[in-house]
Amino acid sequence: MKIPKPDYYLGVGSGSHGYQTGEGLKRIEKVLVREKPEIVLVYGDTNSTLAGALAAVKLHIKVGHIEAGLRSYDRNMPEEINRVVADHVSDLLFAPTEKSRENLIKEGIDANKIFITGNTVVDAVFQNLEIGKEKSRILDRLNLKSREFLLVTTHRQENVDDKKRLGQILKGLDLVHKEFGFVIIYPIHPRTEKKLEEFRLKIPEGVRLVKPAGYLDFLQLEANARLVLTDSGGLQEESCVLKVPCVTLRDNTERPETLEVGANILAGTNPEEVLECAKLMINNREKNWKNPFGDGEAGRRIIKILKERGRGKQ
């Protein structure tokens, strides 16, 4: 991907939310004490995002939150808790869209701390799509033709840890395959694979499990899919940028912009609803909706703001 290796690898690994957050907080603090940065940038809504923000603010180091202001308004999602807390301890909030800025204002955050920058996911897609075209051979390895397969991912706790919901998703995929005949490529997340075995759920005919793909390979799968079905937040954005229609296997989303422009639709996990949403979206591949997440220059804008505010190293 033409980026340098990290200077530090925390090595927290898998575990409960409390374990990951606690271990991350402990290990990040050691790095911050050693390096003494002027500002810590945290991205998104993961447990490491929360750990990094807390470690910094407790050491009286400024915090900048990239992808600030996203809200699903569902506290059952651990990601929602992570992003809300990170936003409220941050000194600079880099909101991807006007809607995310409005969310922050409604929560009483000072407007002078908020900057609309676009989302760095667009920067990454634009940069790495071309690199992937040169380096990735994933379509050849899987014997796939562009726009003649569907792509599905599931990993969220509320879906894969619930036998009923996970079973419904599989039934929905079965209905979609029977309706359209396209093979469904399913890069299986380790968490999901474990739960499939635990729940003794059968993979439907037409659904092809493959090993998790690296970013460049996955970007090529995503760009060439006829339709994406996912419970991922990032994939809702990426598919929108790539002009690939998306069906979200959730009851809510913190990316409402994708719904508003017609790139995405919420299906939940009811099998018949998944099928109906797939029918609505599958032929939207050629629709030229407007990308609401920016022009691929978010990273440069963030650096410019840091320099202007005197927070970052020159």
Give yes or no for a contact between 109 and 189, defined as CB atoms under 8 angstroms apart.
no
Q: Which residues of the chain have pLDDT under 70?
A: 285-286, 311-314
Q: 183 and 263 share a domain?
A: yes
Dihedral sign from CA coordinates of 143, 124, 254, 56:
positive
pLDDT per residue as tens digits for the range 193-235: 999 999 999 999 999 999 999 999 999 999 999 999 999 999 9
Side-chain half-sphere exposure of 60, counting CA atoms within 13 A: 0
Residue 191 maps to a domain = yes
Residue 312: what pLDDT?
41
Active site residue 155: yes
Residue 4 maps to a domain = no
DSSP letters of 216-252?
A: HHHHHHHHH-SEEEES-HHHHHHHHHHT--EEE-SS-
Structural domain of 221 = 123-284
Q: 66 and 107 share a domain?
A: yes
Q: 136 and 33 share a domain?
A: no
Residue 1: what pLDDT?
77
pLDDT per residue as tens digits for the range 210-221: 999 999 999 999
Q: Could you tell me the pTM of the whole model? A: 0.89
Token readout for 65 is 């939150």
- Report the CATH number that the domain containing residue 87 is assigned in CATH: 3.40.50.2000
Residues in the chain: 314
Residue 289 maps to a domain = no
Give dist(CA 52, CA 110) in Å, integer. Answer: 22
Q: 272 and 160 share a domain?
A: yes
C-alpha closest to that of 218 among 191, 233, 238: 238
| Of 60, 65, 155, 189, catalytic | 155
C-alpha closest to that of 214 among 137, 144, 154: 137
